[in-house]
Amino acid sequence: MLGMKLKTAGLALISTVAFMGPALACPQYDAVVTAVQAGDKALATQLHEEIVVSAECDDALREWVGDYLARESFLFAMQEATSIEEKREAFKRALGFEKHWRSYAELGRLEWGVKNYAPAAASFQLALNELVDGDPSHQASEEEIAEVYQLASAAIALADQPVSMPTTRSGDAGGIFKTKIRGFEVEEVPLPITFEFDSTTFDAVGLTYAEALVSHVMQLSPDVVRLAGHTDPQGSEDYNLSLSEARAAALRDFMRERGYDGEIEIIGLGESQLPEPPQGIEVGSEEHYRIARRVAFSAE
């Protein structure tokens, strides 16, 4: 699992030799290099605060020290911190020094483990954004990206309130709306567009995600949108198939009302494509079924 890999991988390794950047007239230069070499995190933190606001210090030095402090905070959270609060603060501290997808992913995993699904969804989506926009030297396998994406979409479905989709640095829709992440590609974006019981009327959460989808589609402006309705396996197979198609049609009509004039294809799949439950979710549980109740979106 990703979590086990991270315990040995850590963040990008920080050199223990002297900083090799330009020796500018930075008053803290010698002291900060010595602190990092000695592993003096407290002093390095203090000096980092000073050089961040110093016009005399080079950006490369700030980044080098920040990377070191981010790595140390990350490793402390993974290997030494004992309480959830201590781990949470350490991951946030690491992110304060360096935006790294692994730190976001582990913070999301921490919240996921205690069923804080809304903050978990936010962190997992920021991890996806960093994989898209962040430092390409922060390596990730397709397996790791796929797992983060699965957890992000599942956490969105399980959250008690709607979760915002973060934008990328270019202003485009990010998070689970990003369907090409390095070598990983998403065929369909699963959205928890939910409805009133036994109805084709959106509930409050479903309406929020329907509006988010329309906003994304209007920005993307594809020629064709495909909507696939899915249900959980409760109820008869024929009924679920009919209901899933009717709900996909309701979303199509909503998109038309909101101004999308491209082609919209709909299909009802009922319970036929029950998703694999992510780690920590029991097969056939209510949480599993909440993840199953979705509309999958794709475009071209």
Based on the fold, state whether residues 14 and 3 are members of the same structural domain. yes
Integer CA distances (angstroms), 225 to 115, 122, 211, 263, in order: 33, 26, 15, 6
Based on the fold, state whether residues 147 and 239 are members of the same structural domain. no
Q: Any idea what DSSP says for residue 275?
A: P
Q: What is the pLDDT of residue 25?
A: 81
- More confidently predicted of 170 and 23: 170
Residue after which a domain boundary falls, among 186, 220, 236: 186
Reduce the DSSP state of residue 247 to 3 states and report it.
Answer: helix
Is the confidence at residue 62, as pLDDT, over 70?
Answer: yes
Residue after which a domain boundary falls, among 65, 92, 119: 92
Q: What is the pTM of this model?
A: 0.91
Range of the domain at 269: 187-300
* Crossing angle between the packed helical segments 237-257 and 204-220, to the nearest 10 degrees: 60
Residue after which a domain boundary falls, among 186, 220, 248: 186
29 Cβ partners below 8 Å, 6+ apart?
A: 19, 23, 57, 61
Measured at the CA of 174, the angle between CA 225 and CA 145, to 5 degrees, comes to: 100
Average pLDDT, rounded, for the chain: 92
Is the confidence at residue 16, as pLDDT, over 70?
Answer: no
Is the confidence at residue 152, as pLDDT, over 80?
Answer: yes
**Alpha helices of 159-273 — where are they, by DSSP H?**
204-220, 237-257
Measured at the CA of 71, the angle between CA 148 and CA 184, to 5 degrees, comes to: 25
Nearest Cα to 155, choosing from 85, 211, 108? 108
Domain count within the chain: 3
Q: How does residue 5 score in pLDDT terms, banded at 50, 70 and 90? A: very low
